[in-house]
Amino acid sequence: MRIDVVTIFPGYLAPLREALLGRAIEAGLVEVAVHDLRDWTHDVHQAVDDAPYGGGPGMVMKPQVWGEALDAVLAADERPARLVVPTPAGRPFRQSTAQAWAGEQRLVFACGRYEGIDQRVVDEAAARMPVDEVSIGDYVLVGGEVAVLVMVEAVARLLPGVLGNPVSAEQDSFSDGLLEGPAYTRPLTWRGLSVPEVLRSGHHGAIARWRRDRALERTADRRPDLLAALPADALDAADRAF
């Protein structure tokens, strides 16, 4: 998979080169190219924004600069691309979104700042490629860069070879529609707190049951919306205690 990011703060994307993801890039499992939007300005001030039509606070990012930047970035590789624009006004980004995007040959991320990018940039792009305006949560950031770090990590970890042990991607939180329950490791007792007996029993059935109970309990407590969204047949008789 090739990932391109267009931003006025390329340095914000430096963490993509670290750790697991950095190794995946070095191994050629994923290619990442970060582009400075200002490279496509032609004025001495390298202006990327202007006042909003209709008035109101803040500035809007200019369509001409974004248009030239996306044209150039898209032309750099013949693989078909999906354009992703992080925005508080977007559809929710979920694990299912990451799963779907993991099958893409190419993702191009456009990082908005200020009050956003002129809508015509998104509308014009949508005429020639799939475009997703997505939100990573109901809060407002200063720019899309941090959201891109979140989404790239969520997608890249699903790519074959990126994670050491692929099984954990399947057994993710949300993969069965429930939150992950508590996890424990050595020592057996720590500051007077012990590990639940069942986990040391060696009874795999009892352990699986205990883990599911804890996941159901936590989901009912923290995310009742997820529980309500489960398909009817997802819960067996033993589950219905929650």
Residues marked active site are found at 88, 115, 157, 172
Of 120, 52, 122, which Cα lies nearest the Cα of 85? 122
Coil, helix or strand for 237? helix
Decide if residue 162 touches ligand JET (CB under 6 A): no
Pairing of strands 2-7, 31-36: parallel
Min dist. Cβ of residue 133 to ligand JET (A): 5
Nearer to ligand JET, 75 or 142 (CB): 142
Coil, helix or strand for 183? coil
Contacts to ligand JET from residues 67-106, by CB under 6 A: 85-88
H or E element: which one contains 105? Answer: none
Decide if residue 32 touches ligand JET (CB under 6 A): no
Decide if residue 182 touches ligand JET (CB under 6 A): no
Decide if residue 63 touches ligand JET (CB under 6 A): no
Q: How far apart are CA 50 and CA 66, in angstroms?
A: 13
Q: How many CB atoms lie within 10 A of CB 200?
A: 12
Contacts to ligand JET from residues 128-157, by CB under 6 A: 133, 135-137, 139-141, 143-144, 147
Chain contacts with ligand JET (rule: CB under 6 A): 85-88, 112-113, 116-117, 122, 133, 135-137, 139-141, 143-144, 147
